[in-house]
């Protein structure tokens, strides 16, 4: 995939989703991975959807359990769960093409990730890499509705807290 095409597709995603963010309980979109790092030949588009939604938590769990046969199948399930015709919203976009080719990878993280250690530990375990989200934040960019670009460094807004450890028993 061409870097410019991937970036344009990610920006279309932001433009389409941002106006309905309140309905979906989304509070942020973050572009990360090869496109955020401006690698010349990215393999896919990686996006994080930051939210406050039990439905999107449930969907993230289903994604990680690899229940879906394809990205298109997952997308259809998401549509049904949200009760929103995403196919229609994305019908004239590059996103629709990326979904059909399995090149759009969205992950969903609840804002509890930043405040609830149990949630964070469970989410990190599902991803089999406790530094996955922290690394994504370090090179990710947030959707800016004013510029309609991913041009805000995620590091300026998000910080992954350290794990709280209990004091060891003294002998």
**What are the pLDDT digits (tens) for 70-129?**
777 888 888 888 999 988 999 999 999 998 898 999 989 999 998 999 988 888 888 777
66 pLDDT higher than 80? no
Tell me, what's the pLDDT at 169? 40
Model's pTM, two decimal places?
0.88
- CATH class of the structural domain 3-156: alpha beta
C-beta separation of 60 from 107 below 8 A: yes
- Contact residues for 158 (Cβ-Cβ < 8 A; gap 6+): 114, 137
Tell me, what's the pLDDT at 129? 76
> Comparing C-alpha atoms, which of 73, 58, 64 is closest to residue 133?
64
Tell me, what's the pLDDT at 154? 95
Q: How far apart are alpha carbons 13 and 5 in whole angstroms?
A: 12
Tell me, what's the pLDDT at 171? 40
Tell me, what's the pLDDT at 103? 93
Segment 36-50, tens digit of pLDDT: 999 999 999 999 999
- pLDDT confidence bin for 165, thresholds 50/70/90: low
Q: How far apart are alpha carbons 148 and 160 in whole angstroms?
A: 26
Q: Which residues of 99-113 are buried (b: 16+ CB within 10 A; e: fewer)?
A: beeebbbbbbbbbbb
More confident residue, 128 or 24: 24
């Amino acid at each position: 995939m061409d870097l410019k095409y991937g970036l344009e597709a990610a920006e279309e995603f932001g433009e389409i989703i941002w106006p309905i963010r309140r309905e979906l309980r989304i509070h942020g979109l973050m572009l990360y991975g090869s496109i955020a790092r401006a690698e010349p030949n990215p393999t896919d588009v990686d996006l994080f959807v930051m939210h406050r939604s039990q439905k999107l938590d449930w969907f993230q769990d289903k994604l990680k359990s690899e229940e879906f046969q394809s990205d298109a199948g997952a997308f259809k399930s998401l549509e049904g769960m949200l009760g929103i015709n995403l196919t229609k919203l994305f019908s004239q976009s590059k996103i629709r093409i990326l979904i059909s080719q399995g090149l759009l990878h969205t992950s969903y993280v609840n804002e509890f990730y930043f405040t609830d250690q149990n949630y964070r530990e469970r989410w990190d375990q599902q991803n089999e890499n406790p530094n996955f989200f922290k690394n994504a934040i370090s090179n990710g960019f947030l959707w800016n509705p004013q510029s309609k670009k991913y041009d805000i460094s995620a590091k300026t807004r998000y910080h992954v807290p350290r794990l709280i450890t209990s004091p060891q028993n003294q002998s």
